Chain A
Amino acid sequence: MKQLQFDQLEETLHFKTLANGLNVYILEKPEFNKTYATFTTKYGSVDQQFIPLGKQEKVTVPDGVAHFLEHKLFEKEHGDVFQDFSKQGASANAFTSFNRTAYLFSTTDDVKKNLQTLIDFVQAPYFTEKTVEKEKGIIAQEIRMYDDNPDWRVYFGLIANMYHRHPVKIDIAGTVASITDITKDDLYECYHTFYHPSNMLLFIVGPVDANEIMSMVEENQQAKSYSDQPPVTRFFDEEPSTPAKKKDVIYMPVQTPKCYMGYKEAQPNRQGKALLQHELSVNVLLEMMFGKSSKNYETLYSEGLIDPSFAFDYTEESGFGFSMIGGDTTDPDRFAEQIATMVETFKKEPLSQQALDRVRKKKIGAFLRALNSPEFIANQFTRYAFNDMNLFDVIPTFEGLRVEGLQEVLASHFQESQLTICQVKKKQ
C-alpha cells in the first residue's frame, strides 16, 4: 500500500492497485461519524458502441442501458440489496452519469460488513426477463419526472444542440421507447464488458483504519476468480467541432422562462494535468466574467435579466466538453444577446491581475469548503482519476494560473462559432 501526503491540507491518501487491476483508495477521517464508500465503473450513458468481452464485432446497445443496469444490479435472487444495507444500518444509492456508474453507501456502523456487501453485490449480477420487465414501469416514471422538469429539459436541450452525433446528447436514462427494447442479455453483455475490476475504482472515506480496510478488500478480491481482461474498445462517431444547432426553444407550462447558453469545446481531448489546468482556467474566466462580484452580474441583475438561479460551469470529459451559462430570466432573448455581448467585450479587454487574484482566492476557499464533504471527495476523486487527474492537485493548480495562460484559453474556448442557445418559453 502506498501513501500520498498532502501537508497543507493535513490529509493522507492510501492506495493500492490490486492483482486483478482494481484501484483502491482510502482516506482516513477520524473526526467523522460517517464512512462513505463508492464503487465506480468507467462506464456510462455514452458507452453505446463497443466490442463486447470475448467477441470480435462491434455492437450498438439501446439508449439508457447503463442506467437500466444500475437499477437492476440491486436486485438479487434473495431480494433487494437495499434491504441488506438497511438491515446493516447503511443507506445505499447509485447514479449513472455520461461516463461513470457509481454504487455507494454511507454508514456510521459496521463499515466492513457494508463494504463487503457493496463489493459483492456489484460483482454478482443477477438479471432475469421478469425483473427486467418489472423495472420498465419504474424507469418510465423516472423519465416522466424529468420530462416535466424545465431545468432538466433546458440543460439537456443545450447539450443536444451542441452535438451532432456524440451520445452525450442522449438522455442518460434513455426514453420510454428505447428502454422497452432492453433485455436481460443486453445487461449481461454490458456488465461483463465494463464491470471488470481493472475498469473500476473503490474509494472509502471515513473514520477507518486504512490497513485493516485494505487487507479486507484484498482478501475479498483474491477469493474471486477474475481473468485478465484487456481495456475495452469503445467507438464514437466522428464529431464536428462546431455545434449542431445554434438555437432551440422548448415550450412548456412555466411562468418564468429559462435561457441556457454555452460554448462547445472544439478540442475535448485533454487528459491529466492539461485537462485540470484547462478546466480550472475556463471556470476562473467564467467567474471573472459572471461571478457575483463582477460588473456584468450587477448589470444583469439590475436589468432584471437574472435572479439567484443564475449559474455557470465548465466541464470536460474525454470526447466532449462545454461551458454553460444560464438560469431563469424574464426575457430569454435579451438575456442571450446580453451574455454574448458581454463575452465579446470581455475578450477585447486585457485581463486584470487583481481580478484573477480575487477569483483565485474565492475558488480556493470554495474547494476547501467542498473538502468538508466525504461525498464530494469520493465522487470527485473518482471522476478526476478516470481522467488521469488528481483531486489534491486542485489548489496548486489554481495557484499556478497566470494571466497569459488564461488569455489563451479565453481566446480559444469562447468563440462565437461554438456558441449555442437553448430556451424554455411559456406554452400559450
Chain B
Amino acid sequence: MALVQHHVQSLPGITLHTIPTKKYKTTSITLQVKRPIIEEEVTKRALLPYVLQSGTKRYPSAQLLREALDQLYGATLHVDLSKKGEYQIISFRMEVANEKFLSDRTPLLEEAFALLSEVVLHPAQEKDAFLADVVSKEKRSLRQQIQSIYDDKMRYANKRLIELMFENEPYRFNVYGDEQALDEITPASLYAYYQNVLAEDEFDLYVVGDLEEEVLQTLTKKHFSLARREQHVQSEVSSRNVEKVKEIFEEQEVQQGKLHIGYRTHTTYKDDDYLALQVFNGIFGGFSHSKLFINVREKASLAYYAASRFESHKGIIFVMSGIETGNYAQTVKIIGEQLSAIVTGDFSDQELAQTKAMIRNQILETIDDATGLVEVLYHEVISRHKRTIEEWLDGIEAVTKKQIVEVAKKVQLDTIYFLKGKEENKVEAASV
C-alpha cells in the first residue's frame, strides 16, 4: 500500500485533497491560497488573514469567534504566511478533535467546515469594506510582528541576507510586508483586494484524518462554493547568474555575531537533479554528521550551530552560524572549503550513505505529522510537478556521487552577510 493515500479532486474554484489515515486523534484542515509575490500587494496580503480571523458575519468579533472554536472542543484556527519560490501563500489551518475519542460524541467535522468557511468567505464587513476598528487593530499587531523580527537576531540576519541577495527580485520582500505599505492600507482597499483574491487565487483544501472522501466532497461543495477561474499562470522562477559576490557587514550590540550566507543552486523542485541537490545539502550542512557541523563546530569549536537549509522552489541554499565576531574570516574560510571539498568529490561513501539514510528518515518522519504531510504534498501545486513519496525515497537512494559533484558545481556563492558585535562588547564578554 502507498505510504500516503492522497486523493485529489477539482471542484469549482477549489481543489480538494483528501488524505485518509487513522494515525491521529484529530482531523486537520488546511486551506492554502496562492498567488505570485507582487510588490504592491505584499503587505495587504500579509494583513488579510489576520483581519479575516478577527470576525465573521455570524461571529462579528474575535472574542465571539474564539468562543465558537472553544465550543468545538478547542478546535484551533491558525493563519500563516509563507513564501514558496515566487509565490506568497496564505494558509488557514484548523484542527478539530475526532469525536470518537471524546465522551461527548457530538459530530464536530461539519461544524469545523462551516466555521472555516465563515472565516474565509463571510467576513464581518460594512459597505464593501472591512470593519475599521478591526483593520486598525490588526495593522497595529502586524506592525509589531514586523518590528519584532529585528529583536530576534537570527531572523533579522536572515531577513537582511534575503533583502540584499535578491535586491532586484520580488523574493526580496519579507512575507509580513513592510511598515510603510501598512500605513496606506484602508478597510476599503483591503476589502477590494480580498474580493480579487476570492476571484483569482488558487485555493487548495487539504483534509487529513479518519474520514471518507465522499463526505468531504459534499462538505466542500456546500461550504466552499467559489467561482470557477482561469487556469493559473505559473510564475517563472528566475535563476540569475552571480556576477559578483556581495560581502556585507552590519554592526549591532550583540554578544554573538550572526553569519548568514546565500548560494544560488539553479535547481528547483521540478528539476531532475533536485534529489541530487537534496543529498548535496545533506552532506554539506543539513545534519549533525554534515561537513559544516563537523568542521565548524566539532573540529574548530567556533560555533554552537552551523547548518545549511534549502529553499526548494527558489533554488537557494542558506548557511547560518553564530560565532565570535573575531572569528569571521576563519569561519568563512572553513565554510568555503566544505563546498570545494564536495565539488572535488572529497566525501566518503559513508557520508553519502549516512546522508541518504537521514533524508529517508526525515521524509518518513515529516509525513507522520499532518502539517508536515500537507507541506510535502503542496510542493506539487507550487511546482506543477508530481513526485510521490515512494519516488522521493527511491530517487534519493539512486543518487550517485557523480550527480552530487555535478550539482555541487552549479552552486554559486552569492552573498555573505555578517551581523557583528561591537568591539566594546567583546571586552565586556571576556570579563564576565
**Chain A residues with a Cβ under 8 A of chain B:** 8-10, 29, 31-34, 80, 82-83, 86-92, 106-109, 134-139, 141-142, 144-145, 147-151, 175-177, 252-256, 291-295, 297-298, 301-302, 304, 307-309, 328, 330, 358-359, 361-366, 368-369, 371-374, 399, 427
Contact = CB atoms under 8 A, between A and B. Distances in A.
B148 A309 contact: yes
A304 B62 contact: no
Given A138-B301, A308-B145, A363-B74, 7 more contacts: A8-B103, A34-B368, A148-B153, A291-B70, A293-B66, A302-B133, A358-B67
Nearest to A329: B144
Contact of A362 (B70, B141, B301, B305): B70
Nearest to A373: B369
A139 B304 contact: yes
A254 B25 contact: no
Q: Would you list the 10 A-B pairs with minimal beta carbon distance, nearest first? A: A365-B74, A137-B301, A362-B74, A89-B357, A293-B66, A365-B73, A108-B364, A144-B256, A142-B304, A33-B364
A365 B297 contact: no
B322 interface: yes
B74 A366 contact: yes
B150 A372 contact: no
25 contacts: A32-B23, A34-B364, A34-B368, A88-B357, A89-B357, A91-B287, A91-B362, A109-B360, A135-B301, A138-B301, A138-B303, A138-B304, A141-B324, A144-B256, A148-B256, A294-B63, A301-B62, A328-B144, A361-B72, A361-B73, A363-B74, A364-B73, A365-B26, A372-B369, A399-B103
A361 B304 contact: no
Nearest to A301: B137
Contacts of B133: 302
B391 interface: no
B255 interface: yes
Contacts of A366: 74, 76
B365 A33 contact: yes
Contact of B365 (A10, A108, A138, A254): A108
Nearest to B431: A177
B147 interface: yes
A10 B368 CA distance: 18
Interface stretch (B94-102, B181-189, B230-238): B94-102
Contacts of B305: 145
Contacts of A359: 70
Nearest to A365: B74
B368 A33 contact: yes
Contacts of B62: 292, 298, 301
Nearest to A142: B304
B288 interface: yes
A9 B25 CA distance: 8
Main secondary structure, interface of B, reads mixed
Contact of A330 (B96, B102, B144, B301): B144
Contact of A255 (B70, B71, B147, B350): B147
Nearest to A364: B73
B171 to A, nearest CB: 24
A198 B301 CA distance: 35
A138 B306 CA distance: 11
Contacts of B101: 8-10, 368
Nearest to B370: A372
A82 B137 CA distance: 48
B75 interface: yes
A358 B357 contact: no
B330 interface: no
B272 interface: no
B197 interface: no
Contacts of A256: 144, 147-148, 151
A175 B429 CA distance: 11
B323 interface: yes
Contacts of A138: 297, 301, 303-304
Contacts of B429: 144, 176
A368 to B, nearest CB: 4
B302 interface: yes
A137 to B, nearest CB: 3
Nearest to B303: A141
B75 A365 contact: yes
Interface string B230-263: 0000000000000000000000111110000000
A171 B70 CA distance: 36
A369 B141 CA distance: 27
B215 interface: no
B417 to A, nearest CB: 16
A361 B364 contact: no
A295 B297 CA distance: 49
B147 to A, nearest CB: 4
Contact of B322 (A145, A253, A301): A145
A135 B304 CA distance: 10
Nearest to B293: A82
B140 interface: yes
Nearest to A371: B25
Contact of B97 (A31, A89, A142, A368): A368
A326 to B, nearest CB: 14
Contacts of A142: 304
Q: Among A139, A294, A366, find the residue whose CB has the most chain B CB atoms closer than 10 A.
A: A366
Contact of A307 (B63, B145, B367): B145
A309 to B, nearest CB: 7
B290 to A, nearest CB: 9
Given A292-B66, A301-B137, A31 B288 contact: no
Q: Among B26, B144, B323, find the residue whose CB has the most chain A CB atoms closer than 10 A.
A: B144
B70 A293 contact: yes
Contacts of B287: 86, 91
B369 to A, nearest CB: 7
B358 interface: yes
Interface in B131-182: 133, 137, 140-141, 144-145, 147-148, 150-153
Contact of B252 (A106, A150, A253): A253
B24 to A, nearest CB: 5
A324 to B, nearest CB: 19
B254 A141 contact: no
Contacts of A106: 361, 365
Nearest to A36: B365
Contact of A372 (B23, B152, B153, B322): B23
Contacts of B297: 138
B256 A372 contact: no
A7 B133 CA distance: 48
B199 interface: no
Nearest to A90: B361
A108 B70 contact: no
A87 B357 contact: yes
B26 A372 contact: yes
Contacts of B73: 361-362, 364-365, 368
A366 B61 CA distance: 22
